Amino acid sequence: MEERKILLETKELTKYFKTKHGNLHAVDGINLSLPQGTTLGVVGESGCGKSTLGRTILKLIEPTSGQIIFDGEDITKLSPNQMKRVRANMQIIFQDPYSSIDPRKSVAQSIAEPLEIAHIYSNKADLNKKIKELMDTVGLAQRLYDSYPHELDGGRRQRIGIARALALNPKLIICDEPVSALDVSIQAQILNLLMDLQESLGLTYMFITHDLSVVKHISDEIMVMYMGRCIEKTNSKELFENPTHPYTKALLSSIPIPDSSMRKKKLEVIRGEVTSPIEPKPCCRFAARCPYATDKCRAQEPALEKISDGHFVACFLSQE
Amino acid sequence: MSKEFINISAADNGPILEIKDLNVIYKTDVEVVHAVNGISLSLEKGETIGLVGETGAGKTTTALAILQLLPERTGRITEGSIRFLDREITEMSEKELELVRGNMISMIFQDPMTSLNPVLRIDEQIGEAVMIHNPEMSKAQINDRVEEVLGLVGIPASRKNEYPHQFSGGMKQRVVIAIALSCNPMLLIADEPTTALDVTIQAQVLALIEELQEKQDTSMIMITHDLGVVASTCDKVGIMYAGELVEFGTLEDIFDSEKHHPYTSGLFNAIPDLTVETKRLNAIDGLMPDPTMLPEGCAFAPRCHECMEICRKQKPGYYQEGGHSIKCFLYVEQKQEENV
């Protein structure tokens, strides 16, 4: 594969939220670089900071520290006004198509909104033409032009969300759990659409999800997050063939596989729940639930280190 | 305890629950929604049946019909019978139903975030169920029982005075399970019990449900859209589509047999497989039909790749092979040809 241009890069990106009891470490020192035209999957359970990471990159949330470099430009310090220009190139698709679309706007009005905000078309006819083009691209029938969201099912609503994200021809789209609210047969339709669009428009995706089977299909690289930290990062194939961090292994083994031999097997269960991300102790954040934790894990936090070509893990066990 | 109106020992020599040709509609001023259309199934003691299907397939409606909890003004059973042990549920009085609900049949609802009362402590919520069904118990006895069921679901008794917001999602679902189990029900209906939970917590809750079921020999109906959950918990599986049971059989029939309803095959193909490398997913084109205007023939015909002429005109019957039944002309036809 030829060397691709890096579209998005973050350096030690950190977001702390202030709470009564101290700082909540939502995103803690994340380094990533995303080549153009590829997909980075970000996986983790609720509260691991994956959505906050996505929103911080778009600067919908101001980062506490660190750097975001988008398309060669450091956007960390840009003002909201300056961000307007950049945002045309970075869009987001939200999780819940039931609440992320204005119920009082028709399909056409919803899709027109980003185009109107960016003042792209001065002429109504051109705008309508673009809206119809976008509806075609995402597979929404023209007859739905004047329909309202309540008349549509979840899959079609999510197509509106995708059309809105595509409207300004962005380079990067952050997909925040775009299919988790949908049924499996519809989920497959939307995932296929996203993959087709990537191919035809050369889009770059950051795909945030809790569903490993979804992320496997769509991603080139996968990053596993736990309590604001990246604990394992590698290409999709390697992650599933050779998961190394105990948490990644646990995540993979907790997925119930649709196979009749599962009935006799016991699901592998990891104990406990995610511990509090407020002022976490300086130790491995997974240590409290980890079946292999040693005293060293409880005293010191492991750094993300390379264990093989392109495979990074933050665990003392795999680094030894 | 007044459980005498029902013969509990009937479970020893017959199914614990038997549904025959159940039809449920939701009727409003403007339209009639055909939510469940002719479902039949029976459940033996200690057995788990999985009901699988997508949003709107009629899974939850079936569960609500069993408990007679359909919305009073719109929901109605138009046809069919639901027998629990030796009694007909559809003919029970409200008084009798109260003795059944939460006591002999209980339900775990989907979303633990909304199915608990946020202003009551969890011991009050669990105790409420115990108290209603066991009016003779003293406060101390009820308290003992609350602590006992909390122990069963793995919540330390020291947390019984806490409110729901103090628990995480997985712990809340444990509280909901504790309420459902507080009266040792014979039948447990779990409506998407783990859909709102993370995978590692889902694994914990599924393991817990299975362990408790084994201990108490409870029968269970597991409603889910996740075939993985079915594979790890169910003995028999029913695939629902547009209010019909399009395929029914043992776990092996559904997962390993060569013959399937085209919808079942579509459902399996649509799941992203962790073990196989493919670039595209096999989506089922189109959408489930509008339940206010079901097609004349087979409900799946408009989305089916193997649709024949007859499918659009007539409703298929069941093709039977042992306990495995498939509601599709593909096989019904075949059998007729063999007979000729």
pLDDT digits (tens, 9 = 90+) for B22-70: 999 999 888 899 999 999 999 999 899 999 988 889 999 999 999 999 9
| Distance of residue B5 Cα from the nearest chain A Cα, in angstroms | 36
| Distance of residue B206 Cα from the nearest chain A Cα, in angstroms | 8
| Distance of residue A211 Cα from the nearest chain B Cα, in angstroms | 8
| Distance of residue A72 Cα from the nearest chain B Cα, in angstroms | 31
Which residue of chain A has the CA closest to B266? A185
Interchain contact, A269 vs B207, CB within 8 Å: yes
pLDDT at residue B1 in the model: 43
Which residue of chain B has the CA closest to A153? B287
pLDDT at residue B340 in the model: 44
The encoded tokens of residue B66 equal 């069993």
pLDDT at residue A21 in the model: 87
| Distance of residue A46 Cα from the nearest chain B Cα, in angstroms | 7
| Distance of residue B3 Cα from the nearest chain A Cα, in angstroms | 34
Q: Which candidate from B200, B229, B272 shows the least CB-CB separation from A216? A: B272
- pLDDT exceeds 90 at position B117: yes
Q: Dihedral (C-alpha) B105, B108, B110, B115: value to the nearest 10 degrees?
A: 110
Looking up tokens 């490993």 gives: A212
Q: Where are the domains of chain B?
A: 8-104+188-288, 115-184
Which chain B residues touch A256 with a CB distance below 8 Å? 202-203, 206, 226, 228-229, 231-232
Instruction: Give the tens place of pLDDT for each residue, B134-166.
Output: 999 999 999 999 999 998 888 888 899 999 988
DSSP 8-state class, residue B284: P
**Model ipTM over 0.90:** no
The encoded tokens of residue B258 equal 């060569």
HEC profile for B149-175?
HHHHCCCCHHHCCCCHHHCCHHHHHHH
- pLDDT exceeds 80 at position B249: yes
Q: Which candidate from B228, B256, B281 shows the least CB-CB separation from A188? A: B281
- pLDDT exceeds 70 at position B333: no
Interchain contact, B203 vs A268, CB within 8 Å: yes
The order of strands in the sheet holding B87-88 is B32-43, B17-27, B75-84, B87-88
Instruction: Give the tens place of pLDDT for each residue, B172-229.
Output: 988 999 999 898 899 999 998 888 778 888 888 888 888 888 888 899 999 998 898 9
Interchain contact, B272 vs A213, CB within 8 Å: yes
What count of other Cβ atoms lies within 10 Å of the Cβ of residue B282?
16
Interchain contact, B201 vs A195, CB within 8 Å: no
Tell me the torsion sign for CA atoms B96, B210, B270, A261.
negative
CATH 3.40.50.300 assigned to domain B8-104+188-288? The reply is yes
pLDDT at residue B334 in the model: 59
Interchain contact, A217 vs B267, CB within 8 Å: no
Which residue of chain B has the CA closest to A265? B232
The encoded tokens of residue B68 equal 């007679």
Which chain B residues touch A186 with a CB distance below 8 Å? 54, 283, 287
The encoded tokens of residue B18 equal 């038997």
- pLDDT exceeds 80 at position B335: no
DSSP 8-state class, residue B101: B
Mapped onto helix, strand or coil, the DSSP state of residue B281 is coil
| Distance of residue B154 Cα from the nearest chain A Cα, in angstroms | 11
- How far is C-alpha A195 from the chain's CA centre? 15
- How far is C-alpha A118 from the chain's CA centre? 25
Instruction: Give the tens place of pLDDT for each residue, A133-170.
Output: 999 999 898 999 999 998 888 888 999 999 999 999 99
How far apart, in whole angstroms, are the C-alpha atoms of residue B105 and residue B11? 13
Interchain contact, B281 vs A186, CB within 8 Å: no
- How far is C-alpha B202 from the chain's CA centre? 17
Q: Which candidate from A185, A237, A267 shows the least CB-CB separation from B203? A: A267
Interchain contact, A250 vs B200, CB within 8 Å: yes
Q: How many Cβ pairs closer than 8 A exist between chain A and B? A: 124
How far apart, in whole angstroms, are the C-alpha atoms of residue A210 and residue A176? 10
Looking up tokens 């449920």 gives: B24
Calculate the alpha carbon distances from A200 to A169, A196, B152 in Å: 12, 6, 55
| Distance of residue B99 Cα from the nearest chain A Cα, in angstroms | 33
Instruction: Give the tens place of pLDDT for each residue, B275-304.
Output: 766 677 788 888 888 888 888 899 999 999
Residue environment code for B132-169, b if the CB has 16+ CB neighbours within 10 A, otherwise e? ebeeebeeeebbebbbebbebbebeeeebeeebeebbb
How far apart, in whole angstroms, are the C-alpha atoms of residue A22 and residue B274? 40
How far apart, in whole angstroms, are the C-alpha atoms of residue B46 and residue B39? 21
pLDDT at residue A161 in the model: 94
| Distance of residue A281 Cα from the nearest chain B Cα, in angstroms | 21
Residues of A with CB under 8 A from a CB of B: 45-46, 153-155, 183-189, 191-192, 195, 210, 212-214, 216-217, 237, 240, 250-260, 262-263, 265-271, 273
- pLDDT exceeds 90 at position A2: no
Interchain contact, B255 vs A259, CB within 8 Å: yes
- B35 φ/ψ angles, rounded to the nearest 5 degrees: -85, -45
pTM over 0.90: no
Q: Which candidate from B198, B256, B272 shows the least CB-CB separation from A217? A: B272
Tell me the torsion sign for CA atoms B14, B15, B19, B20.
negative
- The angle formed by the CA atoms of residues A8, A310 and A75, to the nearest 5 degrees, is 15
Interchain contact, B280 vs A255, CB within 8 Å: no
Q: Which candidate from A184, A267, A268 shows the least CB-CB separation from B271? A: A184
Calculate the alpha carbon distances from B306 to A105, A156, B151, B303 in Å: 39, 25, 52, 9
Interchain contact, A254 vs B200, CB within 8 Å: yes
Which chain A residues touch B230 with a CB distance below 8 Å? 258
Q: Spell out the long-range contacts of B333-336 with Cβ–Cβ below 8 A and sequence spacing 24 or more.
A: B333/B308
Instruction: Give the tens place of pLDDT for each residue, A13-71.
Output: 999 999 888 899 999 999 999 999 999 999 998 888 999 999 999 999 999 999 999 99
Which residue of chain A has the CA closest to B285? A189
Q: Which candidate from B203, B266, B287 shows the least CB-CB separation from A269? A: B203
Q: Please report which confidence band the pLDDT of residue B254 belongs to, taking 50, 70 and 90 as the band edges.
A: very high
